[in-house]
A and B are shown apart, each in its own frame.
Chain A
Amino acid sequence: MKNSQSAAVIGVGSTAFGNFPEEDATTLGIAALHSALQDAGLQMQDIDGLILHRVADYQRFVRTTGLQPRFMNTVPGQGRMTGVAIQAAASAILSGAAKTIALVHGNDGRSVGARYGGLTDRYGTGAEQLWFPYGMTSPGAVNALQFQRHMKKYGTTSEQLAAVAVAFRKHAGLNPLAVMQKPITVEDHQNSRFICEPLHLLDYCLINDGGVAMILTSAERARDAKQPAAYLRGFAMASRLSEGEFSDDFGRECMRKVADDVFAMAGVGPEDINALMIYDNFSPSVMFNLEGYGFCPVGESGRWIQDGRLELTGQYPTNTNGGHLSESYMQGWSLNVEAVRQIRADCGARQVPDAHFVQYLSGGPISTSIIYGSQPV
Protein backbone atom coordinates (compact mmCIF):
# COMPACT_ATOMS: atom_id res chain seq x y z
CA MET A 1 0.00 0.00 0.00
CA LYS A 2 2.72 2.40 -0.95
CA ASN A 3 1.24 5.85 -1.13
CA SER A 4 2.70 8.85 -2.81
CA GLN A 5 1.47 10.92 0.09
CA SER A 6 2.36 10.33 3.68
CA ALA A 7 1.52 11.56 7.13
CA ALA A 8 4.03 13.26 9.39
CA VAL A 9 4.42 14.15 13.03
CA ILE A 10 4.94 17.89 13.43
CA GLY A 11 4.62 18.26 17.18
CA VAL A 12 5.20 16.22 20.30
CA GLY A 13 4.77 16.99 23.96
CA SER A 14 4.77 15.38 27.32
CA THR A 15 4.34 16.28 30.95
CA ALA A 16 6.66 15.20 33.73
CA PHE A 17 6.13 11.61 34.86
CA GLY A 18 5.60 10.66 38.47
CA ASN A 19 2.99 10.76 41.20
CA PHE A 20 0.62 13.71 40.69
CA PRO A 21 -2.45 13.16 42.87
CA GLU A 22 -3.71 16.66 42.14
CA GLU A 23 -4.00 15.82 38.44
CA ASP A 24 -6.16 13.34 36.54
CA ALA A 25 -5.93 11.69 33.14
CA THR A 26 -7.84 14.54 31.48
CA THR A 27 -5.72 17.37 32.90
CA LEU A 28 -2.50 15.49 32.20
CA GLY A 29 -3.63 14.91 28.63
CA ILE A 30 -4.54 18.58 28.15
CA ALA A 31 -1.18 19.70 29.55
CA ALA A 32 0.59 17.37 27.12
CA LEU A 33 -1.49 18.69 24.23
CA HIS A 34 -0.55 22.29 25.10
CA SER A 35 3.08 21.22 25.15
CA ALA A 36 2.76 19.55 21.72
CA LEU A 37 1.00 22.60 20.26
CA GLN A 38 3.77 24.84 21.50
CA ASP A 39 6.34 22.47 20.04
CA ALA A 40 4.54 22.57 16.69
CA GLY A 41 3.93 26.32 16.78
CA LEU A 42 0.20 25.71 16.40
CA GLN A 43 -2.96 26.96 18.12
CA MET A 44 -5.82 24.86 19.43
CA GLN A 45 -7.98 26.01 16.48
CA ASP A 46 -5.50 24.50 14.03
CA ILE A 47 -6.50 21.03 15.25
CA ASP A 48 -9.46 19.48 13.41
CA GLY A 49 -9.04 15.86 14.50
CA LEU A 50 -8.71 14.26 17.92
CA ILE A 51 -7.98 10.76 19.15
CA LEU A 52 -7.94 10.16 22.89
CA HIS A 53 -6.33 7.26 24.71
CA ARG A 54 -7.00 6.48 28.35
CA VAL A 55 -8.56 9.92 28.83
CA ALA A 56 -11.72 8.88 30.65
CA ASP A 57 -13.78 11.99 30.05
CA TYR A 58 -13.67 13.00 26.38
CA GLN A 59 -16.49 15.48 26.87
CA ARG A 60 -14.62 17.41 29.53
CA PHE A 61 -11.47 17.18 27.43
CA VAL A 62 -13.12 18.77 24.42
CA ARG A 63 -14.96 21.37 26.50
CA THR A 64 -11.81 22.36 28.34
CA THR A 65 -9.70 22.66 25.21
CA GLY A 66 -12.39 24.33 23.09
CA LEU A 67 -11.62 21.92 20.26
CA GLN A 68 -14.18 21.46 17.51
CA PRO A 69 -12.95 18.28 15.84
CA ARG A 70 -14.55 17.04 12.65
CA PHE A 71 -12.79 13.74 13.12
CA MET A 72 -12.88 12.22 16.57
CA ASN A 73 -12.34 8.92 18.31
CA THR A 74 -11.42 7.41 21.63
CA VAL A 75 -9.68 4.07 21.88
CA PRO A 76 -9.65 1.59 24.78
CA GLY A 77 -6.95 2.22 27.36
CA GLN A 78 -4.71 -0.77 26.65
CA GLY A 79 -1.24 0.01 25.35
CA ARG A 80 -1.75 -2.29 22.39
CA MET A 81 -4.10 0.43 21.08
CA THR A 82 -1.41 3.11 20.78
CA GLY A 83 -0.12 1.92 17.41
CA VAL A 84 -3.73 1.39 16.33
CA ALA A 85 -4.59 5.00 17.21
CA ILE A 86 -1.60 6.48 15.41
CA GLN A 87 -2.38 4.44 12.30
CA ALA A 88 -6.02 5.52 12.42
CA ALA A 89 -4.86 9.14 12.53
CA ALA A 90 -2.48 8.62 9.62
CA SER A 91 -5.24 6.94 7.60
CA ALA A 92 -7.65 9.78 8.36
CA ILE A 93 -5.08 12.31 7.17
CA LEU A 94 -4.33 10.37 3.99
CA SER A 95 -8.05 10.06 3.25
CA GLY A 96 -8.67 13.75 3.83
CA ALA A 97 -11.03 13.18 6.78
CA ALA A 98 -8.94 15.63 8.80
CA LYS A 99 -6.02 17.94 8.22
CA THR A 100 -4.26 18.06 11.55
CA ILE A 101 -4.93 15.49 14.24
CA ALA A 102 -3.97 15.57 17.89
CA LEU A 103 -3.41 12.24 19.62
CA VAL A 104 -3.54 12.51 23.39
CA HIS A 105 -2.72 10.04 26.13
CA GLY A 106 -3.55 10.88 29.72
CA ASN A 107 -2.53 8.45 32.43
CA ASP A 108 -3.24 8.77 36.15
CA GLY A 109 -2.41 5.14 36.81
CA ARG A 110 -0.07 5.76 39.71
CA SER A 111 -2.06 8.21 41.79
CA VAL A 112 -5.33 6.29 41.42
CA GLY A 113 -3.48 3.08 42.27
CA ALA A 114 -4.18 1.33 38.98
CA ARG A 115 -3.41 -2.34 39.36
CA TYR A 116 -2.61 -4.81 36.68
CA GLY A 117 -3.76 -8.05 38.20
CA GLY A 118 -6.29 -8.79 40.92
CA LEU A 119 -10.06 -8.74 41.09
CA THR A 120 -10.45 -5.36 39.41
CA ASP A 121 -8.46 -6.48 36.38
CA ARG A 122 -10.56 -8.43 33.90
CA TYR A 123 -7.51 -9.16 31.73
CA GLY A 124 -7.63 -12.78 30.60
CA THR A 125 -10.15 -14.99 28.82
CA GLY A 126 -12.87 -15.78 31.35
CA ALA A 127 -10.67 -14.45 34.14
CA GLU A 128 -13.27 -14.52 36.90
CA GLN A 129 -14.12 -18.16 36.18
CA LEU A 130 -10.98 -19.72 34.81
CA TRP A 131 -8.07 -17.64 36.14
CA PHE A 132 -8.85 -16.13 39.56
CA PRO A 133 -9.78 -19.40 41.34
CA TYR A 134 -6.22 -20.57 40.67
CA GLY A 135 -4.64 -17.25 41.64
CA MET A 136 -3.86 -16.46 38.00
CA THR A 137 -3.95 -12.83 36.97
CA SER A 138 -2.02 -10.05 35.24
CA PRO A 139 -0.25 -9.47 31.92
CA GLY A 140 3.03 -9.91 33.80
CA ALA A 141 2.17 -13.53 34.63
CA VAL A 142 1.35 -14.20 30.97
CA ASN A 143 4.75 -12.80 30.07
CA ALA A 144 6.36 -14.96 32.77
CA LEU A 145 4.69 -18.09 31.37
CA GLN A 146 5.86 -17.21 27.87
CA PHE A 147 9.40 -16.52 29.04
CA GLN A 148 9.47 -19.85 30.90
CA ARG A 149 8.75 -21.55 27.57
CA HIS A 150 11.44 -19.53 25.82
CA MET A 151 13.94 -20.65 28.45
CA LYS A 152 12.94 -24.29 28.07
CA LYS A 153 12.83 -24.26 24.28
CA TYR A 154 15.92 -22.21 23.48
CA GLY A 155 18.03 -22.29 26.62
CA THR A 156 17.48 -18.59 27.28
CA THR A 157 18.39 -17.46 30.79
CA SER A 158 17.21 -14.78 33.18
CA GLU A 159 20.79 -13.42 33.26
CA GLN A 160 20.58 -12.90 29.50
CA LEU A 161 17.22 -11.17 29.91
CA ALA A 162 18.82 -8.72 32.34
CA ALA A 163 20.57 -7.06 29.38
CA VAL A 164 17.24 -5.42 28.45
CA ALA A 165 16.68 -3.73 31.81
CA VAL A 166 20.36 -2.79 32.12
CA ALA A 167 20.48 -1.14 28.67
CA PHE A 168 17.26 0.80 29.13
CA ARG A 169 18.33 2.05 32.55
CA LYS A 170 21.58 3.27 31.05
CA HIS A 171 19.56 5.26 28.50
CA ALA A 172 17.23 6.59 31.18
CA GLY A 173 20.25 8.14 32.90
CA LEU A 174 20.54 10.42 29.85
CA ASN A 175 16.86 11.38 29.86
CA PRO A 176 15.84 14.04 32.40
CA LEU A 177 12.19 12.90 32.13
CA ALA A 178 12.98 9.33 33.15
CA VAL A 179 11.71 8.34 36.58
CA MET A 180 14.50 5.82 37.27
CA GLN A 181 18.00 7.13 36.62
CA LYS A 182 20.34 5.10 38.80
CA PRO A 183 22.32 2.59 36.72
CA ILE A 184 21.71 -1.08 37.40
CA THR A 185 23.79 -4.20 36.82
CA VAL A 186 22.92 -7.76 35.86
CA GLU A 187 23.41 -8.61 39.55
CA ASP A 188 20.89 -5.95 40.58
CA HIS A 189 18.42 -7.50 38.16
CA GLN A 190 19.07 -10.99 39.49
CA ASN A 191 18.82 -9.83 43.10
CA SER A 192 15.61 -7.88 42.64
CA ARG A 193 12.66 -9.73 44.11
CA PHE A 194 10.53 -12.09 42.09
CA ILE A 195 7.09 -10.79 41.19
CA CYS A 196 5.98 -13.70 39.07
CA GLU A 197 8.89 -16.11 38.81
CA PRO A 198 10.85 -16.31 36.49
CA LEU A 199 10.31 -12.52 36.20
CA HIS A 200 11.91 -10.12 38.66
CA LEU A 201 10.80 -6.66 39.73
CA LEU A 202 13.26 -5.12 37.25
CA ASP A 203 11.53 -6.93 34.37
CA TYR A 204 8.36 -4.93 35.03
CA CYS A 205 7.41 -1.51 33.67
CA LEU A 206 6.88 1.52 35.92
CA ILE A 207 3.34 2.72 36.43
CA ASN A 208 3.23 6.50 36.71
CA ASP A 209 1.09 9.54 36.05
CA GLY A 210 1.74 11.58 32.95
CA GLY A 211 0.48 12.85 29.64
CA VAL A 212 1.84 12.51 26.12
CA ALA A 213 0.61 14.10 22.89
CA MET A 214 1.48 13.97 19.21
CA ILE A 215 0.28 16.10 16.32
CA LEU A 216 0.00 14.59 12.86
CA THR A 217 -0.62 16.24 9.52
CA SER A 218 0.06 15.49 5.88
CA ALA A 219 3.62 15.42 4.56
CA GLU A 220 2.66 18.27 2.26
CA ARG A 221 1.53 20.53 5.09
CA ALA A 222 4.49 19.38 7.21
CA ARG A 223 6.83 21.21 4.83
CA ASP A 224 5.75 24.51 6.38
CA ALA A 225 5.98 23.23 9.95
CA LYS A 226 8.05 24.88 12.63
CA GLN A 227 9.85 21.63 13.48
CA PRO A 228 11.54 19.14 11.20
CA ALA A 229 8.86 16.57 10.48
CA ALA A 230 9.07 12.87 11.24
CA TYR A 231 7.40 11.11 8.32
CA LEU A 232 5.38 7.93 8.82
CA ARG A 233 7.15 6.04 6.08
CA GLY A 234 5.48 2.77 6.94
CA PHE A 235 2.78 1.52 9.25
CA ALA A 236 1.02 -1.83 9.59
CA MET A 237 -0.89 -3.99 12.02
CA ALA A 238 -2.25 -7.49 12.49
CA SER A 239 -3.98 -9.22 15.36
CA ARG A 240 -3.93 -12.59 17.06
CA LEU A 241 -6.53 -11.85 19.72
CA SER A 242 -8.52 -14.92 18.70
CA GLU A 243 -5.66 -17.20 19.78
CA GLY A 244 -6.12 -16.19 23.40
CA GLU A 245 -3.25 -15.18 25.64
CA PHE A 246 -0.95 -18.14 25.09
CA SER A 247 0.71 -18.17 21.73
CA ASP A 248 2.75 -21.21 20.71
CA ASP A 249 5.15 -19.10 18.66
CA PHE A 250 5.50 -16.10 20.99
CA GLY A 251 3.36 -14.11 18.54
CA ARG A 252 5.93 -14.41 15.78
CA GLU A 253 3.61 -15.25 12.89
CA CYS A 254 1.50 -12.19 13.61
CA MET A 255 4.54 -9.92 13.96
CA ARG A 256 6.05 -11.40 10.79
CA LYS A 257 2.99 -10.28 8.82
CA VAL A 258 3.30 -6.78 10.22
CA ALA A 259 7.03 -6.73 9.49
CA ASP A 260 6.46 -7.72 5.85
CA ASP A 261 3.85 -4.99 5.42
CA VAL A 262 5.63 -2.21 7.27
CA PHE A 263 8.99 -2.76 5.55
CA ALA A 264 7.30 -3.03 2.13
CA MET A 265 5.41 0.21 2.69
CA ALA A 266 8.52 2.04 3.88
CA GLY A 267 10.72 0.51 1.20
CA VAL A 268 13.42 -0.32 3.74
CA GLY A 269 14.53 -3.38 5.67
CA PRO A 270 15.74 -4.11 9.21
CA GLU A 271 19.30 -3.24 8.16
CA ASP A 272 18.20 0.35 7.42
CA ILE A 273 16.75 0.97 10.87
CA ASN A 274 18.91 3.21 13.07
CA ALA A 275 17.04 2.86 16.35
CA LEU A 276 14.19 0.79 17.78
CA MET A 277 11.38 1.67 20.14
CA ILE A 278 9.95 -1.58 21.49
CA TYR A 279 6.83 -1.87 23.65
CA ASP A 280 8.45 -3.06 26.86
CA ASN A 281 5.62 -3.75 29.27
CA PHE A 282 7.92 -6.54 30.51
CA SER A 283 11.45 -7.23 29.40
CA PRO A 284 10.71 -10.58 27.66
CA SER A 285 8.40 -8.68 25.28
CA VAL A 286 11.50 -6.99 23.87
CA MET A 287 13.05 -10.35 23.02
CA PHE A 288 9.84 -11.67 21.47
CA ASN A 289 9.57 -8.51 19.33
CA LEU A 290 13.17 -8.74 18.11
CA GLU A 291 12.54 -12.29 16.93
CA GLY A 292 9.04 -11.65 15.63
CA TYR A 293 9.95 -8.63 13.52
CA GLY A 294 13.01 -10.39 12.13
CA PHE A 295 15.79 -8.41 13.80
CA CYS A 296 17.35 -11.51 15.24
CA PRO A 297 17.13 -15.23 14.46
CA VAL A 298 14.28 -17.16 16.06
CA GLY A 299 15.20 -18.44 19.49
CA GLU A 300 18.46 -16.53 19.67
CA SER A 301 17.37 -13.27 21.24
CA GLY A 302 18.90 -14.20 24.61
CA ARG A 303 22.38 -14.35 23.18
CA TRP A 304 21.74 -11.67 20.57
CA ILE A 305 20.96 -8.89 23.06
CA GLN A 306 24.27 -9.36 24.90
CA ASP A 307 27.35 -7.11 24.65
CA GLY A 308 25.38 -3.90 24.43
CA ARG A 309 23.60 -4.54 21.14
CA LEU A 310 20.56 -2.58 22.38
CA GLU A 311 22.63 0.23 23.88
CA LEU A 312 23.37 3.61 22.34
CA THR A 313 26.66 2.49 20.84
CA GLY A 314 25.27 -0.90 19.78
CA GLN A 315 23.86 -2.14 16.50
CA TYR A 316 20.26 -1.29 17.41
CA PRO A 317 19.96 1.39 20.07
CA THR A 318 16.60 0.54 21.65
CA ASN A 319 14.27 2.56 23.87
CA THR A 320 16.72 5.42 24.11
CA ASN A 321 14.41 7.26 26.52
CA GLY A 322 14.63 4.40 29.02
CA GLY A 323 11.41 2.80 27.83
CA HIS A 324 8.57 1.66 30.01
CA LEU A 325 11.03 -0.14 32.25
CA SER A 326 12.93 2.99 33.29
CA GLU A 327 11.32 6.17 31.93
CA SER A 328 7.65 5.42 32.69
CA TYR A 329 4.85 3.24 31.41
CA MET A 330 3.20 5.67 29.03
CA GLN A 331 1.84 2.74 27.04
CA GLY A 332 3.85 3.22 23.88
CA TRP A 333 3.18 6.94 23.48
CA SER A 334 6.44 8.11 24.91
CA LEU A 335 8.28 5.59 22.73
CA ASN A 336 6.67 7.11 19.64
CA VAL A 337 7.55 10.59 20.84
CA GLU A 338 11.14 9.44 21.39
CA ALA A 339 11.20 8.08 17.84
CA VAL A 340 10.19 11.53 16.59
CA ARG A 341 12.79 13.25 18.76
CA GLN A 342 15.49 10.91 17.46
CA ILE A 343 14.48 11.67 13.88
CA ARG A 344 14.68 15.38 14.65
CA ALA A 345 18.09 14.90 16.32
CA ASP A 346 16.59 16.44 19.45
CA CYS A 347 17.86 13.90 21.97
CA GLY A 348 21.02 15.51 23.28
CA ALA A 349 23.28 13.06 25.11
CA ARG A 350 21.18 10.08 24.04
CA GLN A 351 21.01 11.05 20.37
CA VAL A 352 21.63 8.23 17.90
CA PRO A 353 23.91 9.62 15.15
CA ASP A 354 22.27 9.84 11.71
CA ALA A 355 18.90 8.58 12.88
CA HIS A 356 17.09 8.52 9.52
CA PHE A 357 14.79 5.58 10.24
CA VAL A 358 13.41 4.77 13.67
CA GLN A 359 10.92 1.94 14.13
CA TYR A 360 8.24 1.42 16.75
CA LEU A 361 7.39 -2.22 17.47
CA SER A 362 4.56 -3.56 19.54
CA GLY A 363 4.14 -7.30 19.83
CA GLY A 364 0.55 -7.93 20.39
CA PRO A 365 -2.00 -9.42 20.64
CA ILE A 366 -2.58 -6.53 18.28
CA SER A 367 0.83 -6.20 16.68
CA THR A 368 1.59 -2.75 15.31
CA SER A 369 4.66 -1.16 13.84
CA ILE A 370 5.50 2.29 12.53
CA ILE A 371 8.63 3.35 10.69
CA TYR A 372 9.44 7.03 11.11
CA GLY A 373 11.77 8.61 8.58
CA SER A 374 13.58 11.93 8.38
CA GLN A 375 12.62 12.40 4.73
CA PRO A 376 9.28 12.25 2.91
CA VAL A 377 8.65 9.50 0.38
Chain B
Amino acid sequence: MSELKTLQPVVDALSRPFWQAARAHHLVLPRCEGCQTLRAHFERWCAVCGDEHFQWERLSGRGKVWSHCIFHRIYFPSSDLKVPYNVAVVALEEGPRLISNIVGIDSQFIEIDMPVIVHFEDMTEEISLVKFKPLHFSV
Protein backbone atom coordinates (compact mmCIF):
# COMPACT_ATOMS: atom_id res chain seq x y z
CA MET B 1 0.00 0.00 0.00
CA SER B 2 3.04 2.27 0.12
CA GLU B 3 2.61 3.49 -3.51
CA LEU B 4 -0.88 4.66 -2.76
CA LYS B 5 -1.33 8.23 -3.94
CA THR B 6 -5.06 8.62 -3.93
CA LEU B 7 -7.36 6.74 -1.62
CA GLN B 8 -9.29 4.80 -4.19
CA PRO B 9 -12.22 2.80 -2.95
CA VAL B 10 -11.72 -0.95 -2.96
CA VAL B 11 -14.51 -1.97 -5.33
CA ASP B 12 -15.94 -5.46 -5.00
CA ALA B 13 -18.76 -7.40 -6.66
CA LEU B 14 -21.38 -6.08 -4.26
CA SER B 15 -20.41 -2.43 -4.60
CA ARG B 16 -19.53 -2.32 -8.31
CA PRO B 17 -22.98 -1.05 -9.42
CA PHE B 18 -22.66 1.82 -6.93
CA TRP B 19 -19.30 2.91 -8.33
CA GLN B 20 -20.34 2.35 -11.94
CA ALA B 21 -23.34 4.60 -11.38
CA ALA B 22 -21.18 7.18 -9.63
CA ARG B 23 -18.85 7.25 -12.65
CA ALA B 24 -21.94 8.10 -14.73
CA HIS B 25 -22.73 10.77 -12.11
CA HIS B 26 -25.73 8.99 -10.67
CA LEU B 27 -26.17 8.31 -6.98
CA VAL B 28 -27.68 4.88 -6.35
CA LEU B 29 -28.14 2.70 -3.26
CA PRO B 30 -29.57 -0.77 -2.74
CA ARG B 31 -33.22 -0.98 -1.68
CA CYS B 32 -34.34 -4.27 -0.11
CA GLU B 33 -37.09 -6.04 -2.05
CA GLY B 34 -38.36 -7.69 1.09
CA CYS B 35 -38.92 -4.70 3.38
CA GLN B 36 -38.09 -1.72 1.15
CA THR B 37 -35.30 -0.53 3.46
CA LEU B 38 -32.70 1.58 1.70
CA ARG B 39 -29.18 0.88 2.91
CA ALA B 40 -25.92 2.73 2.68
CA HIS B 41 -23.53 -0.21 2.77
CA PHE B 42 -22.95 -3.19 0.58
CA GLU B 43 -23.81 -6.57 2.07
CA ARG B 44 -25.78 -9.52 0.76
CA TRP B 45 -28.41 -9.50 3.46
CA CYS B 46 -30.80 -6.83 4.58
CA ALA B 47 -30.13 -6.19 8.26
CA VAL B 48 -33.81 -5.43 8.84
CA CYS B 49 -35.53 -8.47 7.27
CA GLY B 50 -32.73 -10.78 6.13
CA ASP B 51 -33.77 -10.72 2.46
CA GLU B 52 -31.00 -11.18 -0.11
CA HIS B 53 -32.85 -9.46 -2.97
CA PHE B 54 -32.48 -5.79 -3.66
CA GLN B 55 -32.76 -3.25 -6.45
CA TRP B 56 -30.37 -0.40 -7.12
CA GLU B 57 -32.36 2.79 -6.86
CA ARG B 58 -31.38 6.19 -8.16
CA LEU B 59 -31.59 8.90 -5.51
CA SER B 60 -32.15 12.63 -5.69
CA GLY B 61 -28.65 13.51 -4.54
CA ARG B 62 -30.07 16.02 -2.09
CA GLY B 63 -29.45 15.90 1.63
CA LYS B 64 -28.35 17.81 4.68
CA VAL B 65 -25.13 17.93 6.64
CA TRP B 66 -25.73 15.65 9.66
CA SER B 67 -22.36 16.55 11.14
CA HIS B 68 -18.90 17.64 10.07
CA CYS B 69 -15.33 17.85 11.31
CA ILE B 70 -11.94 19.03 10.10
CA PHE B 71 -8.95 16.70 9.99
CA HIS B 72 -5.69 18.33 11.06
CA ARG B 73 -3.75 15.15 11.56
CA ILE B 74 -2.32 13.17 8.66
CA TYR B 75 -3.67 9.62 8.76
CA PHE B 76 -2.86 8.72 5.15
CA PRO B 77 0.74 9.86 4.67
CA SER B 78 1.18 8.05 1.36
CA SER B 79 -1.82 9.73 -0.25
CA ASP B 80 -1.94 13.21 -1.72
CA LEU B 81 -4.58 14.27 0.77
CA LYS B 82 -3.53 17.57 2.37
CA VAL B 83 -4.61 18.66 5.84
CA PRO B 84 -6.72 20.42 6.90
CA TYR B 85 -9.67 18.90 5.07
CA ASN B 86 -13.31 18.47 6.02
CA VAL B 87 -15.28 15.28 6.43
CA ALA B 88 -19.04 15.35 6.69
CA VAL B 89 -21.81 12.88 7.36
CA VAL B 90 -24.54 13.70 4.86
CA ALA B 91 -28.09 12.58 5.61
CA LEU B 92 -29.71 11.95 2.24
CA GLU B 93 -33.32 13.06 1.90
CA GLU B 94 -34.21 9.39 1.31
CA GLY B 95 -32.78 8.54 4.75
CA PRO B 96 -29.37 6.85 4.55
CA ARG B 97 -26.20 8.66 5.58
CA LEU B 98 -22.98 8.85 3.63
CA ILE B 99 -19.50 9.89 4.66
CA SER B 100 -18.22 12.50 2.27
CA ASN B 101 -16.51 15.85 1.80
CA ILE B 102 -18.25 19.15 1.27
CA VAL B 103 -16.75 21.06 -1.65
CA GLY B 104 -17.29 24.59 -2.90
CA ILE B 105 -17.20 26.10 0.56
CA ASP B 106 -14.51 26.92 3.09
CA SER B 107 -14.56 24.17 5.72
CA GLN B 108 -15.03 26.77 8.47
CA PHE B 109 -18.42 27.72 7.06
CA ILE B 110 -19.95 24.24 6.93
CA GLU B 111 -22.90 23.91 9.26
CA ILE B 112 -25.11 21.13 10.52
CA ASP B 113 -28.44 20.97 8.63
CA MET B 114 -26.96 22.87 5.67
CA PRO B 115 -28.73 21.62 2.52
CA VAL B 116 -26.31 20.00 0.09
CA ILE B 117 -26.45 18.32 -3.29
CA VAL B 118 -24.27 15.60 -4.73
CA HIS B 119 -21.20 16.63 -6.69
CA PHE B 120 -19.25 13.89 -8.45
CA GLU B 121 -15.49 14.23 -8.56
CA ASP B 122 -13.85 12.19 -11.32
CA MET B 123 -10.72 10.47 -10.08
CA THR B 124 -9.90 7.83 -12.69
CA GLU B 125 -11.49 6.13 -15.69
CA GLU B 126 -13.43 3.94 -13.27
CA ILE B 127 -13.94 6.01 -10.16
CA SER B 128 -15.84 9.19 -9.38
CA LEU B 129 -16.13 10.10 -5.72
CA VAL B 130 -19.50 11.05 -4.31
CA LYS B 131 -19.00 14.47 -2.78
CA PHE B 132 -21.49 17.17 -1.89
CA LYS B 133 -21.70 20.94 -2.31
CA PRO B 134 -23.99 23.49 -0.68
CA LEU B 135 -27.33 23.61 -2.43
CA HIS B 136 -27.90 27.34 -2.21
CA PHE B 137 -24.55 29.04 -2.44
CA SER B 138 -20.85 28.59 -2.57
CA VAL B 139 -18.11 30.61 -0.97
Contacts and interface: CB of A to CB of B under 8 A. Distances in A.
A242 B47 contact: yes
A117 B99 CA distance: 15
Interface string A224-268: 000000000000000000101010000000000000000000000
Interface in A112-164: 115, 117-119, 124-126, 128-138, 141, 144-146, 148-149, 152
Report which residue of A138, A148, A152 has the largest number of chain B beta carbons within 10 angstroms of its beta carbon.
Answer: A148
A99 to B, nearest CB: 40
Nearest to B110: A148
B87 A148 contact: no
Contacts of B41: 125-126, 130, 244
B73 interface: yes
B62 interface: no
A149 B67 contact: yes
A195 B73 contact: yes
Contacts of A246: 66-67, 89, 97
Given A130-B41, A137-B75, A148 B67 contact: yes
Interface residues of A, number: 35
B51 to A, nearest CB: 16
Given A135-B87, A136-B87, A196 B71 contact: yes
Nearest to A137: B75
A244 B97 CA distance: 10
A116 to B, nearest CB: 9
Nearest to A195: B73
Nearest to B107: A197
A135 B113 CA distance: 21
A349 to B, nearest CB: 35
B25 interface: no
Contacts of B113: 152
B98 interface: yes
Given A126-B41, A129-B15, A196-B69, A152 B47 contact: no
A207 to B, nearest CB: 14
B9 A197 contact: no
Contacts, number: 99
Contacts of A117: 73, 75
Contacts of A199: 69
A199 B85 CA distance: 14
Contact of B68 (A115, A128, A148): A148
B99 A130 contact: yes
Interface string B5-29: 0011111100100000000000000
Contacts of B73: 117, 195-196
A250 B27 CA distance: 28
B72 A135 contact: no
Given A141-B71, A246-B97, A149 B9 contact: no
Nearest to B70: A197
Contacts of A145: 67-69, 87, 89
Nearest to B81: A135
Nearest to B6: A133
Contacts of B4: 119
B42 interface: yes
A201 to B, nearest CB: 9
B1 interface: yes
A50 B129 CA distance: 47
A118 B74 CA distance: 9
A197 B70 CA distance: 5
B107 to A, nearest CB: 9
A371 B47 CA distance: 33
Contacts of A118: 75-76
B113 to A, nearest CB: 8
A110 to B, nearest CB: 17
B70 A134 contact: no
B9 A196 contact: no
B7 A133 contact: yes
Contact of A135 (B12, B42, B71): B71
10 contacts: A119-B4, A134-B87, A134-B99, A135-B71, A135-B75, A135-B85, A135-B101, A145-B67, A145-B89, A198-B69
Interface of A: 115, 117-119, 124-126, 128-138, 141, 144-146, 148-149, 152, 193-199, 242, 244, 246
Given A130-B41, A246-B67, 5 more contacts: A126-B15, A130-B99, A134-B99, A134-B101, A138-B75
Interface of B: 1, 4, 7-12, 15, 40-42, 47, 66-73, 75-76, 81, 84-85, 87, 89, 97-101, 111-113, 129, 131
**A-B pairs with lowest CB-CB distance, top 4:** A197-B70, A145-B67, A144-B69, A194-B72
